[in-house]
Amino acid sequence: MKAISLALVLLVVRVMGTAGHPLVLSWWSPIAYLWHDAAVVLTFAAVEVLLRRQPRLVWALYGVLAAYAVLNVPIERALSSPLTWTMWRAAGGPLADSIRHYATLVNVALIGIGLAVAWLGPTAVRRVHPRPLLLALLACAVLGPHAAARVDTQGRERNALTALGSSVTVGRAVSAEPRDWRASAIAAPADDRLQRLRGTAAGRNVVVVALESTGARYLGLYGAGEDVAPNLSELARSAVVFENAYAVYPESIKGLWSVLCSLAPAFNTPAESQAKLPCHSMASVLGQKGYRTALFHSGRFDYLGMDAIIRGRGFDVLADAGDIGGVRESSFGIDERSAVAGILRWIDAAPEGRPFFVTYLPIAGHHPYETPDRGPFPDHDEFGRYRNALHYGDAALGELRRGLEARGLDRQTLWIVLGDHGEAFGQHDGNYGHTFQLFDENVRVPYVIAAPGLVPAPIRARHVVSLIDTAPTVLDLLGISSPRGYEGHSMLEGESRMALFFTDYSLPLVGLRDGPRKIIHDMRSGRTRWFDLERDPGESFDLSSAHADEVRRYRALLGSWVHRSRWDAAAR
């Protein structure tokens, strides 16, 4: 019976995919980790019986299922998750360099072992009596949900097949009444140093730089031992530096929507769905005020629905790697020096006296962290290459800044420099990259507002802010009223609000930061983690059991917020 061989393949894949990761050990653990595999094998066994007169079709189905499970092993080893539909959508041409990066001898060998087991398995298990094993698998599948409620597998019970079918239903919000979702439960005095900046940048040019995959913790500006971004640190010497800024979504495309439009992206919805949604983007508002507007991206607009986010949003010029052309190219895009040169050429073409608004999206910082030239940091591992990539992106920021200074525009320009999301390097087990978790390494980002001549000394603002606050903050600095419909608030109000965030790439996670409190809720398992970031900045100790009432309140708020965002997107 080929179902027994498939069970063997899935067991081997499970061992290879979870090797090196700590597992929760209890009497329930074997069932909790294996019940998805049991369910797949039982389903295949039923199909095998139904198609017993079509053996070739059964063989073909077995081969496809076994091979797909085996080919997911490198993905699970790298990301602690098999491919989901969302991850499949992301695995396009621009990721070719990242995908090639994992074509290692170890991964090739593991795939070879898995395929060998799939090939030899039917012969090896030919004499195994299937009934006892199928009954054991049935018991495992039936008891699986019960075991999962007692063992936090962090999604590792999923296999390559069930990950494709897993989703979370988001219902209608209980109440459609307007509310301030981010109102903080913690009273704190407003920072009046920021309130004095309102309207002080009126008439200035605006440059927004969204640094790719740049977590705050890796920068000297935020306490890192070695400064990978000296140009940003130099800019921050006369700037407002926000200590606790958070991305709404730990991925660039949907994150850009929140920055430009001050709207949260919808949960479990592709970026393309934003195409027809109304949005008072910064570009459209400033264009109506007489600004020239442009967006330059050293990557490619055709990746993951970026076109839907930016087209028709008020930009006079949209230029990506294909439009700019570069000295060096990768699957992601072009070198940053060519992108900066394109921006400066566009600025030089401006009519005299007309202000400009330019958004610059460098691709430097994205995996696999390749740079045209070798950087100053040891590059024997991914983290070293990442720091060199951040340094390379920072060099482009410095070149752009010097270009404006050479044109006499430095004291006529407002700078907003932020990280579009963070990047993880195993600070928490299995957490690599940026899209899969909501720990601070994934969502806490640098945020700097610089306006040479307006901020004589650096201001370190400690209240919690969100990237969704960017558009109203820029308009507030320029003395322009924000249009109705923004979900963000001006950071210059100086009030601490909650930052809300979510991810749906693999596990459906929602979270918030409220003062020192950090909440991460798994909508699939119903588990919630509560951290005190003042005492535990590494998010190592879950204190949810000691704050049960508070956890319930935050969890209800997060659930309503996600429901509202999904249904608002459908209704717009």
pLDDT one-digit tens code per residue, 405-446: 999 999 999 999 999 999 999 999 989 988 899 999 999 999
Confidence of residue 386 (pLDDT cuts 50, 70, 90): very high
Confidence of residue 95 (pLDDT cuts 50, 70, 90): low
Find the range with the poorest average confidence among 113-122, 173-182, 452-461. 173-182
DSSP assignment letter at 150: T
Residue 236 buriedness (CB in 10 A; 0-12 / 13-18 / 19+): buried
Per-chain mean pLDDT for the chain: 89
DSSP assignment letter at 83: P
DSSP assignment letter at 485: T
**pTM recorded for the entire structure:** 0.92
**Nearest 10 degrees: Cα torsion 553, 556, 558, 560:** -140
What average pLDDT does the segment 508-522 reach? 95
Check whether 177 has a pLDDT greater than 50.
no
Confidence of residue 179 (pLDDT cuts 50, 70, 90): low
N residues, the chain: 572
Q: Domain residue spans in the chain?
A: 2-164, 201-499
pLDDT of res. 92:
61
pLDDT one-digit tens code per residue, 185-208: 887 777 888 999 999 999 999 999
pLDDT of res. 352:
78
pLDDT of res. 167:
55
What is the gyration radius of the CA atoms in the chain, in angstroms?
25
pLDDT one-digit tens code per residue, 218-271: 999 999 989 999 999 999 998 999 999 999 999 999 999 999 999 998 888 877
Single out the residue of 70, 142, 128, 78 nearest to residue 104, CA to CA: 78
Check whether 281 has a pLDDT greater than 80.
yes
pLDDT of res. 413:
95
Query: Using alpha carbons only, what angle is made at residue 525 by residues 569 and 153, rounded to the nearest 5 degrees?
Result: 130
Two tokens at 329? 């190219």
pLDDT one-digit tens code per residue, 327-365: 877 667 789 999 999 999 999 998 878 999 999 999 999
- Strand, coil or helix: what is 460? strand
Of 3.10.450.50, 3.40.720.10, 2.40.420.20, 3.90.1300.10, the CATH number of 201-499 is 3.40.720.10
- Residues 548 and 60: their CA atoms lie apart, in Å, by 51
Check whether 323 has a pLDDT greater than 80.
yes
Query: Using alpha carbons only, what angle is made at residue 334 by residues 330 and 339, rounded to the nearest 5 degrees?
Result: 170
531 or 128, greater pLDDT:
531
Task: Quote the percentage of the chain above a pLDDT of 70.
Answer: 94
Query: Using alpha carbons only, what angle is made at residue 426 by residues 234 and 163, rounded to the nearest 5 degrees?
Result: 125
pLDDT of res. 390:
96
Q: Which helix (H) or strand (E) holds 513?
A: strand 509-514
pLDDT of res. 36:
95
Check whether 175 has a pLDDT greater than 50.
no
pLDDT of res. 301:
85
pLDDT of res. 174:
39
Check whether 93 has a pLDDT greater than 60.
no
pLDDT of res. 568:
52
What type of residue is 282?
M
pLDDT of res. 211:
97
What type of residue is 488?
G
pLDDT one-digit tens code per residue, 397-406: 999 999 999 9
